[in-house]
Amino acid sequence: MYQCQCQIIPDDVLKRWACDPALSEDLCKNADYSAKLSKHFRSIRLENKRLAGFLLENHALTTLTENPEVTLFDCRQTQSLPGTQIKDPFNDEDPTVSRTYTETDHLATFLRKVFKRNSIDNAGMTLMSSVHYGKKYNNAMWNGLQMIYGDGDGELFVDFTLGTDVIGHELAHGLTQYTLQLDYDEEPGGLNESISDCFGSMFRQWRLNQDATTADWLIGHDILGKTSRNRSFTCLRDMADPGGKHCLAPQPVHFSEIKSGMDPHYTSGPPNLAFCTACRQAGGKSWETVGPVWYHVITNAGQRPRMSMSEFATETRQAASELYGKESAVANAVHAGWQKVGL
């Protein structure tokens, strides 16, 4: 089984940079270091996923608070977690600290106002983040308990807290952890990554007050450094054009292109395109139209660790009909989205 990474940058992208003869020795070392460091978090995430599953199965989650607390820690470029706690992060002079606090708080508000959800576990879970993790660490991740943000090396990637979609994407892994409990291999893994991209993109659009037709649907646009941009990359992934050459990690477009053993960061391409297509056809704001359909499925289907993409497509079609009506614009848009990618 492909072990859960739950990080925004796939290992193979970092390894590709690490072997790039056109880059400086320092940039290659930073990329290699980031790829290797990410591996150490996998067993931790798996154990925390199992714990969350146990709590859900035994109905052991109780409400901590009605308004989730946001806490910030500074690792000061060490690998010591969680780091030193920052007592007043909102007013901190460090822009990374204040930005992380503000956007994480907005994410909690987004979940509460749009989906009536109390934090990612729906029980008021404290949203804890550690910033300035490692030296020039090229990644951001959810480790099953908290968020971890690297500063980037300034060339390939910049401060990972600059991407609201990155923040939303990684915290949405926590949302999946406390709902479907999707595994991280084959089709379930692709769905896992896609759900995070969908919620990350919706959060970015919500913060910018964009509708589905004017949004760019790019993932990771704000975290690319100048070296990446100089090679004509504009994003990590593009939900509207998964296979585009402007993507640092281009994905399959059609379900038939998915092959066994693919990294979930790539198999998420077809469901990403299905969601984006549905949102654009439905019109309006993604979080008010198709977003509630996706949320309804992940929060009402129970623990489905081996859910296939076909099963997810069927569930969303049914949910769209139940929420909006069988012949509604949203139901037709959801059907068209899945049909476009062969599901």
Q: What percent of the chain has pLDDT over 90?
A: 85
- The model's pTM: 0.94
What tens digit of pLDDT does each residue of 306-340 get?
A: 999 999 999 999 999 999 999 999 999 999 999 99
Nearest CA to 289 among 326, 325, 322, 329? 329
Residue type, 50: R
Which residue ranges make up each domain of the chain?
Answer: 11-177, 186-340
Distance of CA 224 to the CA centre of its chain: 16
The catalytically annotated residue of 132, 169, 221, 265 is 265
Known catalytic membership, residue 170: yes
- pLDDT for residue 51: 77
Q: What percent of the chain has pLDDT over 70?
A: 96
Mean pLDDT confidence for 33-39: 79
- pLDDT for residue 7: 85
- pLDDT for residue 57: 81
What tens digit of pLDDT does each residue of 154-194 get?
A: 999 999 999 999 999 999 999 999 999 999 999 999 999 99
- pLDDT for residue 1: 39
- Residues near 234 by beta carbon (within 8 Å), at least 6 away in sequence: 218, 221, 224, 246, 247
- pLDDT for residue 132: 98
Known catalytic membership, residue 296: no
- Backbone Cα Rg of the chain: 19
Which of 25-39, 173-187, 269-283, 305-319 comes out lowest in average pLDDT? 25-39
Mean pLDDT confidence for 13-38: 89
Which CATH code for domain 186-340?
Answer: 1.10.390.10
- pLDDT for residue 3: 43
**Has residue 5 got a pLDDT over 90?**
no
Are the C-beta atoms of 330 and 289 separated by less than 8 Å?
yes
| CB-side neighbour CA atoms (13 Å) of 225 | 17
Establish whether the linkage from the previous residue to 305 is cis, with ω within 30° of 0: no
* β-bridge pairing 127-131 and 147-149: parallel
**Has residue 258 got a pLDDT over 80?**
yes
Q: Over the chain, what is the mean pLDDT?
A: 94
Could you tell me the CA-to-CA distances from 312 to 15, 182, 330 in Å, in that order?
32, 11, 16
The catalytically annotated residue of 170, 187, 193, 315 is 170
**Has residue 254 got a pLDDT over 80?**
yes
- Residues near 51 by beta carbon (within 8 Å), at least 6 away in sequence: 144
The architecture (CATH level 2) of 11-177 comes to Roll (3.10)
Which of 30-39, 47-56, 186-195, 307-316 comes out lowest in average pLDDT? 47-56
